[in-house]
Amino acid sequence: MNEPFEEHRRLLFAVAYRILGSAADAEDAVQDSWLKWSAADRSRVADPRAYLVRIVTNLAMDRLRSARARRESYVGPWLPEPVLTDAGSEDDAVRAESVSTGLLMLLESLSPLERAVFVLREAFAFSHAEIAAAVGRSEETVRQAASRAREHVRSNRPRFPVTASRHRAVTERFLAAAGGGDINTMMDLLAPDVTLWTDGGGKVRQALRPVRGAQPVAAWFAGIMRRPYEGVAPAAMTAEITGLSGTPGVVMRGGGRVLATLTLDLDDQGRIIAIHNVANPDKLGAVTAGIMRDLRFSAYGSGLGVVDDGA
């Protein structure tokens, strides 16, 4: 009987995606979890949810270790694979942050254990004891890993929760300005120390290094929007604002295919502090397929807010 597995399939994908940053790899981890579940002696499984989370977490950690070696030789910046989601509700900014592109990029600098512990603790509010059982480590080891990961995130990614409507409004204004080559408006929207990250994987024309500073970023967008891209003329491109990884984002299409996605991070003043542009065709499959994902899981955790260390 696979009913318990199907009941928790979305949770398993949400865990694996946050650990791996790849929808394709997360789907593979979920499928491998199903194979292990199918072969398990169910009579010895007291808590199917905990059992399945343990399986998918360890499979995702193994895949992450293998992926790290490949990512070291990746051409240009490596960005997480975007997935279609809702755009977030007005009171859901903190939870949306737990799956944002910017946070998933930051988690790349954690060890696989630290990343898994952080995801299970901060995004899903599992207890330290539950996590220890899931990853096969002592509770004290898990507490230490959680503390290191939390401090790393807090130090490198200050939280500025932004409402979905504010985020969408800024995205709309920036898209209009970029499409019209309006550098002045772009400069008004960009923070002085904004960074543009573009991921073409060496397969399409993109910047091979991060572009830093409002003027260079505005000039980059003004230039690229005036030229044909991968055989598609600017007039033949369309841009749709939709939910990407929990926040409003942009899907660019042309020539009968998805060309790129764009998501923005905003600072405490509502200015754009980071732009993530994914154009590697290998990472656009989930968006092209049009599969909507629900990655929030309010029933399982309390989002990315601070969790009491003593819990």
> Over the stretch 187-210, which tens digit does the pLDDT of each residue have?
999 999 999 999 999 999 899 999
HSE toward the beta carbon, residue 164, CA cutoff 13 A: 19
Find out whether 159 and 305 touch, Cβ atoms under 8 Å.
no
Q: Is 247 exposed, middle or buried (0-12, 13-18, 19+ CB in 10 A)?
A: buried
Per-residue confidence band for 298, with pLDDT thresholds at 50, 70 and 90? very low
E strand intervals along 267-306: 272-278
162: pLDDT strictly greater than 50: yes
User: In this predicted structure, what is the pLDDT of residue 299?
Assistant: 38
Q: What is the mean pLDDT of residues 12-32?
A: 96
Per-residue confidence band for 309, with pLDDT thresholds at 50, 70 and 90? very low
Dihedral sign computed on CA atoms, order 295, 298, 299, 305:
positive
Cα angle for residues 18, 22, 24 (degrees, 5° grid) = 125
Alpha helices in the chain (DSSP H): 3-20, 23-39, 48-72, 93-97, 101-107, 112-118, 128-135, 139-156, 164-179, 183-189, 214-224, 285-289
Q: What percent of the chain has pLDDT over 90?
A: 74
307: pLDDT strictly greater than 50: no
**Per-chain mean pLDDT for the chain:** 89
Q: What is the pLDDT of residues 225-271, one digit of tens each?
A: 889 999 999 999 999 999 998 889 999 999 999 999 999 999 989 99
User: In this predicted structure, what is the pLDDT of residue 2?
Assistant: 66
User: In this predicted structure, what is the pLDDT of residue 1?
Assistant: 55
Q: What is the pLDDT of residues 56-90, one digit of tens each?
A: 999 999 999 999 888 889 999 999 999 999 765 54
285: pLDDT strictly greater than 60: yes
User: In this predicted structure, what is the pLDDT of residue 92?
Assistant: 55
Beta bridge partners of 310: none
4: pLDDT strictly greater than 90: no
What one-character-per-residue DSSP string does 114-165 give?
HHHHHIIIIIT---HHHHHHHHT--HHHHHHHHHHHHHHHHHH-------HH
Per-residue confidence band for 95, with pLDDT thresholds at 50, 70 and 90? low
User: In this predicted structure, what is the pLDDT of residue 300?
Assistant: 41
170: pLDDT strictly greater than 50: yes
The torsion angles phi and psi of 193, rounded to 5 degrees, stand at -105, 30
Sheet holding 247-254, edge to edge: 211-212, 190-199, 272-278, 257-266, 247-254, 238-244
User: In this predicted structure, what is the pLDDT of residue 169?
Assistant: 96
* Measured distance CA(10)–CA(297) in Å, rounded: 9
Per-residue confidence band for 276, with pLDDT thresholds at 50, 70 and 90? very high
Tokens linked to 229: 């891209």
